[in-house]
A = this chain, B = another copy of it.
Amino acid sequence: MSTPMSSPMLKEQLLTLDNPVFCCYLFWATVLVVKMLLMSLLTALQRFRYKIFPNEEDLFFKNIEVQFDDPHVERVRRAHRNDMENILPYFIMGLIYLSTDPNPTVACNLFRVAAVARILHTLVYAVYPVPQPSRILAFATMLLITFYMAAVVALRTLSFI
């Protein structure tokens, strides 16, 4: 399409299913949302396994009291908190980055690598702890990807400060 309308029409379609980069974002963001919600269930699993509950009304077993410092439960909660600290800002950053019409190949690969890195982060942190620097590398991967997206967007929108 080389009509005068082509450019604005393409732009309008950035956040629709007509844009394969948006579809790629949708898929991997969905994977990460599901991964995050499974952390809640993993926490619940650990609570029942080790009978550690934080509220009076949650004491489903006899002769137990509220307890807060169990290492198995707290490890999953730290992993979950780390997810919130990193994945939630990434969701917004990814959406924002998408709306600046990035290179499709670069964008799709960033979405894929970031999602896989966070799945690995959860595995080496909350499921089966392994020695460092495995967790640091998984953590740094999404962090650097988010910083890269931020740099791209900031340069594109600097004149609207």
Within 8 Å CB of A30, what residues of B?
93, 96, 150, 153-154, 157
Q: Name, among A30, A31, A75, A108, the residue most crowded by chain B CB atoms within 10 Å (CB to CB).
A: A30
User: A23-B157, A85-B40 are contacts. A147–B34 as well, Cβ < 8 Å?
Assistant: yes
Q: How far is the CB of A43 from chain B (nearest CB, A)?
A: 9
Complex Cα distance, B135 from A57, in Å, reads 10
**A115 to B20, alpha carbons, bound, how many Å?**
31
Copies of the chain in the assembly: 3
With a CB–CB cut-off of 8 A, which chain B residues contact A27?
A: 153-154, 157-158, 160-161
Q: A1-59: which residues lie under 8 A (CB-CB) from chain B?
A: 8, 11-18, 20, 22-24, 26-27, 29-31, 33-34, 36-37, 39-40, 54-58
